[in-house]
Amino acid sequence: VVLAKLGLPAALRRLIMHCVSTVKYQICINGELTDSFTPMNGIRQGDPLSPTCVVLCVEKLSHIIFDLVQKGCWKAVKSSQSGHVVSHLFFADDLILFAEAYVKQAQIMKGCLEIFCQASGQIANYDKSAVFGSPILRRSDLGKYLGMPLLHTRGTHATYKKLLDRVHSREKRTKVHLCQWNLVCRPKCKGGLGCKKSSAMNQALLAKIGWRIQNKDGGLWARIYEAKYLKGTSILDPSLLPKQVCSSTWKGILHGLELLSKGMLWRIGKGDVVKFWQDRWLNGRPLFEQDGVLQVGDVTCNVSSFFKGDWWDTDKLRAVLDEDLVQQIICIPMEVTNAVPNAQIWGPATNGMFSVKTAYTLLFHGSEWPSYDWQFLWKLKIPPKLQIFIWLVFQGKILPNEQRARRHLADDPTCNYCNWPVESISHIFRDCEKATSVWHAMLCHGAHPHVFQMDFNPWLRYNLLSKALWGDHVPWTLVFVFICWVLWKWRNNHIFNVDDEVSYDPEKIIVAAVGDTKAPKIPLLLAWEPPELGQFKLNVDGSRRCASGSIGAGVIRNSLGDWVCGFAVNLGKEQILEAEVWGLFFGLQLASAKGIRRLTVEMDAATAVLLVQQHSRLGSHPLASLIASCCAMVRQISDCSVSHIYRERNFVADCLAKWSHNLDLGLCVLDAVPSWLGALLVDDLLGVPLG
């Protein structure tokens, strides 16, 4: 009946009812399926078709309510003085109805539910329903949902006291805590385990709500906050101050806004609304606060005042900034045609889109943390439990007898095997007689003895980053980790299983552990391929060095493999992706200037190719304006395609990019073949493969 009143075609209604009425189930008991049977009440909760049917049916209730609101019978509630009117909110299997607090309105609500129940066959459960009104009414809460209290005011410690007591009641046993919670909650790249700290995670999630409001989310909730608190202003407006009287939810959003503001950057389009000195558009801080400023002129000038045609005015930049800042600025793309406008994007993410992960990471920074990168540990091809084990060793958080005695878990700090006075972490894994004998038996050929004289952490890092091989194809890093693991297991068995005889054959155990390691992959030999007859091929590549900056380079050749022209552009200090895309930009520009109408573009940067192919969905990407310019030039060339190739087929452009690091800032066009490049061109023409 409900589906018919919704106006669904008869054929579709029959199909839906057939799916509901013909469903059969089987139950798995002790690993075996029973005979199939037909349920009496249609599909079960959790069936993929169930939520679809619920949405279709409840839509009829929504129509009934909207009809009464339009007739003026149902007095809906205004979210604010100038905000939206809300009559109902529907969830998966719950709903909230809003109306003025009068008996007549309650009767109208009940009448709507009765009409819907009569049509759908459902029954409203008033025992599980609650009425909530303004503070002048007695009812002050909506009860609980999934064990959590439903609040309309700010939550306090007392609100969740029962929940906290239940959690603490399960922690009655005394446990040894190896690490501080703050260390565990650091991101993995900062030396932690990446566990989420609830307070920081909460602020990151609140920042996401602010991001959605800033980007004009179309949801009802966003429109309500926009009308009530913002009234046409941006949520990032510095003049936006927290009001004295506002909801606790809005106060939470403003708390997340503190984090959101730290990561927001301006993406330069025409640059006519972005303040050169005052706004955040470079390195996450206003330019006048950064090191390298020679002199500050007009503090209210826009970024566009430092443009010269379709490029940066380098002379004007060098007059007020040092060379390091100039090189960072000139590689920032601009869009003078206003095809991609100025926009505020999320700086910590490479694609300019907000993510909770990058926001959470932004909260974790501190000078007391180690300066080196911890990613090497999590990239090791070892089981996760060994990664955690090595992390504990690196942090000094395992318990040798020295630490056990200090924590009153043992009486004697000496080594149980060699009776050394103090059993430290370095003693267990390197200095003990047992450990020394294992290392001498398993030491990688060619290893230098002096590495055992290093401090323990540098010794660990040296072996974990080693590129040496053990045997024919097994990485030494893998063997090193398994040796440490075997030493630790043997030591624990020796201490805690005193009555048991521990068999110990380290070489056999370690060889068995790494024996299933796959042999290295055989490199695939590839060669450059010339374009079809009458076509031209543009090979583009980028290169980056910290000292000399980023380089974009490219080569245009015809179907015979002859050199048409080449180029290299020094872009200052930027990331490799920007160098690749700038190389594409100048390569297409050069091809258009040569009058080339049939062009094949090849790049070994898969990310750059993907950006070009998905240019219409870039949104807040920092390179959106540069990609738009590249796509415009691709469309101007009658027959042009951009594709990804492997680096072996892009060797000439790769070598040209690396050779060009000594060039001055700007574009250098090479009409003639550089002498040193001739042999590589011949190899490409002959199809000499590279691996």
Confidence of residue 666 (pLDDT cuts 50, 70, 90): confident
Domain ranges for the chain, please list them: 1-128, 199-264, 269-341, 374-515, 536-686
Answer for the pair 509, 457: CB distance below 8 angstroms, yes or no.
no
pLDDT beyond 80 at 136 = no
For residues 377 and 188, give the distance between their C-alpha atoms in angstroms, rounded to a whole number.
Answer: 9
Q: Can you tell me whether residue 29 is helix, strand or coil?
A: strand
Helix or strand run (H / E) with residue 516: none
Q: What is the mean pLDDT of residues 406-426?
A: 90
Q: What is the pLDDT of residues 387-400, one digit of tens each?
A: 999 999 988 899 99
Answer for the pair 414, 505: CB distance below 8 angstroms, yes or no.
no
Checking DSSP bridges between strand 264-267 and strand 148-149, what pairing results, if any?
unpaired
For residues 203 and 263, give the distance between their C-alpha atoms in angstroms, rounded to a whole number.
Answer: 13
Q: Is the pTM of this model over 0.75?
A: yes
Answer for the pair 85, 76: CB distance below 8 angstroms, yes or no.
yes
Checking DSSP bridges between strand 285-286 and strand 307-308, what pairing results, if any?
unpaired
Q: What is the pLDDT of residues 313-335, one digit of tens each?
A: 889 999 999 988 988 888 888 87
Q: What is the mean pLDDT of residues 348-355?
A: 91
Helix or strand run (H / E) with residue 583: helix 576-593
Q: What is the mean pLDDT of residues 489-516?
A: 68
Q: What is the mean pLDDT of residues 404-423?
A: 89
Encoded tokens for 427? 């003693």
- State the angle between helix axes of 606-613 and 624-636 in degrees (0 to 180), rounded to the nearest 10: 70
Could you tell me the CA-to-CA distances from 565 to 56, 568, 670, 675 in Å, in that order? 63, 11, 6, 14
Average pLDDT, the chain: 84
Encoded tokens for 147? 């064990």
For residues 622 and 90, give the distance between their C-alpha atoms in angstroms, rounded to a whole number.
Answer: 38
Q: Specify the pLDDT at position 446.
A: 46
Q: Specify the pLDDT at position 560.
A: 92
Q: What is the mean pLDDT of residues 521-538?
A: 86
* Segment among 33-37, 442-446, 488-492, 528-532 with least mean pLDDT: 442-446
Encoded tokens for 101? 């607090």
pLDDT beyond 50 at 570 = yes
Answer for the pair 566, 556: CB distance below 8 angstroms, yes or no.
yes
**Edge-to-edge strands, sheet with 639-644:** 639-644, 598-603, 536-545, 549-558, 563-570, 666-670
Q: Specify the pLDDT at position 503.
A: 54
Q: Can you tell me whether residue 176 is helix, strand or coil?
A: coil
Kindly compute the dihedral angle of the four CA atoms of residues 285, 290, 295, 301, in this order, to the nearest 10 degrees. Answer: -10
Q: What is the pLDDT of residues 69-102, one digit of tens each?
A: 999 999 998 888 878 899 999 887 788 899 988 8
Helix or strand run (H / E) with residue 46: none
For residues 502 and 171, give the distance between their C-alpha atoms in angstroms, rounded to a whole number.
Answer: 34
Encoded tokens for 199? 């307070």
Strand segments, DSSP code E, in 15-145 are: 28-29, 32-33, 77-78, 85-86, 88-90, 95-97, 144-145
Q: What is the pLDDT of residues 669-682, one digit of tens each?
A: 999 999 889 899 99
pLDDT beyond 80 at 62 = yes
For residues 296 and 582, give the distance between their C-alpha atoms in angstroms, rounded to a whole number.
Answer: 30
536-686 carries CATH number 3.30.9.100: no
Could you tell me the CA-to-CA distances from 678 to 99, 529, 648, 683 in Å, in that order? 82, 17, 17, 9
Q: What is the mean pLDDT of residues 518-544?
A: 84
Q: Specify the pLDDT at position 182.
A: 84
For residues 345 and 281, give the distance between their C-alpha atoms in angstroms, rounded to a whole number.
Answer: 10
Identity of the highest mean pLDDT range in 35-44, 173-182, 570-579, 645-654: 645-654
Q: Which of 626, 634, 642, 646 is nearest to 592 (CA)?
A: 634
pLDDT beyond 80 at 527 = yes
Q: Specify the pLDDT at position 337.
A: 61
Q: Can you tell me whether residue 541 is helix, strand or coil?
A: strand
Checking DSSP bridges between strand 536-545 and strand 598-603, what pairing results, if any?
parallel
Q: Can you tell me whether residue 208 is helix, strand or coil?
A: helix
Q: Specify the pLDDT at position 502.
A: 47
Sign of the torsion formed by the C-alpha atoms of 306, 312, 314 and 320: positive
Q: Specify the pLDDT at position 477.
A: 86
Number of alpha carbons in the 13 Å side-chain half-sphere of residue 630: 27
For residues 151 and 249, give the distance between their C-alpha atoms in angstroms, rounded to a whole number.
Answer: 10
Q: What is the pLDDT of residues 610-641, one digit of tens each?
A: 999 988 888 888 888 889 889 999 999 989 99
Checking DSSP bridges between strand 639-644 and strand 307-308, what pairing results, if any?
unpaired
Could you tell me the CA-to-CA distances from 521 to 382, 475, 517, 518 in Å, in that order? 18, 13, 12, 9
CB atoms near residue 398 (< 10 Å): 15
For residues 496 and 620, give the distance between their C-alpha atoms in angstroms, rounded to a whole number.
Answer: 58
Residue with tokens 């009765």: 114
Q: What is the pLDDT of residues 281-305, one digit of tens each?
A: 998 889 988 988 898 888 889 999 9
Q: What is the mean pLDDT of residues 125-133?
A: 81
Q: What is the mean pLDDT of residues 566-589?
A: 89
Q: Specify the pLDDT at position 519.
A: 52
pLDDT beyond 90 at 565 = yes
Checking DSSP bridges between strand 639-644 and strand 598-603, what pairing results, if any?
parallel
Helix or strand run (H / E) with residue 477: helix 476-496
Partners of 551 in the beta sheet? 543, 570
